[in-house]
Chains A and B, each alone.
Chain A
Amino acid sequence: MRDALASSGTQIVTVALRRADLSGQHDPYANILEFVDREKYLLLPNTSGAMNAEEAVRLARLAVTAGLPNWVKLEIHPDPRYLLPDPIETFKAAEILVKEGFVVLPYINADPVLAKRLEDIGTATVMPLGAPIGSNRGIETRRQIEIIIEQSTIPVVVDAGIGAPSHAALAMEMGADAVLVNTAIAIAADPCRMAQAFKAATEAGRSAYEIGLAEESFSASATSPLTGFLNEQ
């Protein structure tokens, strides 16, 4: 994991709090945090496992008491099958955590109105999903994410479903500010090289967005007009 992190060029690493030791003591059997160099990366605790706002808020508070940053990736998915985020509970928890001074990065479905509502209450980003977590299906919610990016004044991070470097490149070309990738790298035969591939794709997508892509068109635009012979004046 250490090597894959280094070759991905990432700046932020998110860690599920339920897998970490939150008692403030050292637990060799729950030592996931020890694999992340906090000098190099911003550690972003996530509330995975929480099923409602109350549980997520509690986890975020505990993370801070355990000495973790007051940044929180707010994940509330009551459905363990598809891990789709609960918009109502996420909104409630975000309100509380923002008021308490947390930097809140909420994982949401690609719902433009919800994104604006979260922005209004002061979340640091919105993190819409491309497809369900771990599905590797790419940016299935593309049209919705385009609206979110268009309307947003805070960074948009495309969070789930990114299974191939081309998906990451697409998200970045669309104007996303960042992508979050786990499964595709974690289960790769060579996680380190796959992380490099994602890095290259993410940077390529960003460059293309900054330069500005040519408009897509469904018809060919002929260089010589077919109706030029009419010579209409």
Chain B
Amino acid sequence: MSFVESFNQLPDHKSTLLKRFSSLIAPKTAQELEAMARESQAITRKHFGRTMRMFAPLYLSNECINNCKYCGFSRDNPILRVTLSIDQVIKEARHLTDQGFRNILLVAGEHPKFVSDGYLEACIEAIRPFVPTIGIEVGPMEAAEYARMVQAGAEGLVVYQETYDRTEYADLHTAGPKKNFDWRLECPERGYEGGFRRIGIGALFGLADWRWEALALAAHLEFLQQRCWKSSFTVSFPRMRPAAGQFRPKFSLTDREYVQLIAAFRMAFPEVGIVLSTREDQALRDALFPLGITTVSAGSHTEPGGYTGEGSDDLHLTVRGKRVELDTPTSGSKECSRATEQFGIADTRSPAQVSEALRTMGLDPVWKDWDEAILSTARLATATAATTMVLP
């Protein structure tokens, strides 16, 4: 049984945990919310200590065959696009590791021509020697394809359902394979089957009623924890940000509700990682860091080549999915020298500044939390030889 069946029974059939979760996301007084925030913080410290895991997204390509009304990369948006070459990906990744990052999330639009699985594998393999933790956030795949990504060296998979509201989903996803709601819903299970050890799920808040999104996300998490017991999970609650296409969200999640959402997830799922990206501004991020967040990005760019300017040689415009060459790709105005970003970043501090802010509030940034040697046999041969010498 996949999650689709349990999802379809919501909200009528709720487990004990989901009933408790529902009461946690019900309207609260200011005092109740304060109590929740305190409990959330205490549970987080107990399970995660004073640590905060650091990661950065690296956008490989903003080509996409889907039309999603809210996304800047939508096929029909006339934006500047590029797919980085492997060398360019290495340069971007080097820039991030120089800043301290040891955990990189490779992000790409869904486009079988530009972002084929051979390309992704090559990107993973190219940065693997110097990036201990590699995750991917790309178009959905079959389990066997995911297994090849794991084999190449990725151990994290991020896939957000965007919205768990079927009606809104159908309305928002107007063209491309992403229209298939159930196929996306089953992604984390296929990822687990493919061998991913860290799986991140989430919803894009603003596309549907937040309480429904939260309940469905909690149900998804509960289902995955039971079925995919060897994987660790993170959840993320990104809120809509301004992007190309000028989409106006019909729904909202206020800061107050955001706090409640974090606390509710922490109280219901003490061991689950909660991710906070640079979509939120500095003031709110600093306020949320101590309340239940365990994983943060910093200094992010959401366009391919955003960190180093790589890829500007192959920039082109797409108009209704068709490539249109720019007259003077690199000598144009500044706006024309970079690919278009997926969405605007709100917290523009550098990784060092965010790291310092975390330390000031008594939290320890953790940059490296994995070693590729755990999965790789590549370094085993040398290790075995050396061990034999050390140990008679």
Tell me how far the C-beta of B26 lies from the nearest C-beta in chain A, rounded to whole angstroms: 26
**In contact, A58 and B380 (Cβ under 8 angstroms):** yes
Q: Nearest-CB distance from B104 to chain A (Å)? A: 13
B391 at the A/B interface (Cβ < 8 Å)?
yes
Closest partner residue, chain A, to B99 (CB atom) = A29
- Which residues of B lie under 8 Å from residue A100 when comparing CB positions? 387, 391
- Measured as residues with beta carbon below 8 angstroms from the partner, the interface class of chain A is 35 or more
Q: Which residues of A contact B230 (CB under 8 A)?
A: 51, 78-80
Let me know if A180 is at the binding interface, CB within 8 A. Answer: no
Q: For the complex, give the distance between the alpha carbons of A78 and B229 in Å.
A: 8
Q: Nearest Cβ in chain B — how far from A53, in angstroms?
A: 12
Q: Which residue of B lies closest to A191 (CB)?
A: B50
Chain B interfacial residues counted at CB < 8 A = 36
* Interface membership of A143, Cβ < 8 A: no
Chain A residues lying within 8 Å of B367, measured Cβ to Cβ, are: 29-30
Residue of A nearest to B130 (CB): A23
Min distance, Cβ A161 to any Cβ of chain B, angstroms: 12
A18 touches B368 (CB 8 A): yes
**Are B368 and A27 interface neighbours, CB within 8 A?**
yes
In the A-B complex, the 4 residue pairs with the smallest Cβ-Cβ separation, listed nearest first, are A80-B232, A101-B391, A30-B368, A29-B367
11 extra A-B contacts, CB within 8 A, seeds A62-B383, A187-B50: A18-B371, A19-B368, A27-B368, A29-B102, A49-B371, A51-B230, A55-B374, A59-B374, A61-B387, A65-B387, A101-B391
- Identify the B interface with A (CB < 8 A): 45-47, 49-50, 100-102, 132, 197, 225, 229-232, 271, 366-371, 373-375, 377, 379-380, 382-384, 386-387, 390-392
Q: List 26 A-B contacts (CB under 8 A).
A: A18-B368, A18-B369, A22-B371, A22-B373, A28-B100, A29-B367, A30-B102, A30-B368, A49-B370, A51-B230, A58-B374, A61-B384, A62-B371, A62-B383, A64-B386, A65-B383, A65-B390, A79-B229, A79-B230, A80-B232, A100-B387, A101-B391, A101-B392, A102-B391, A187-B45, A187-B46
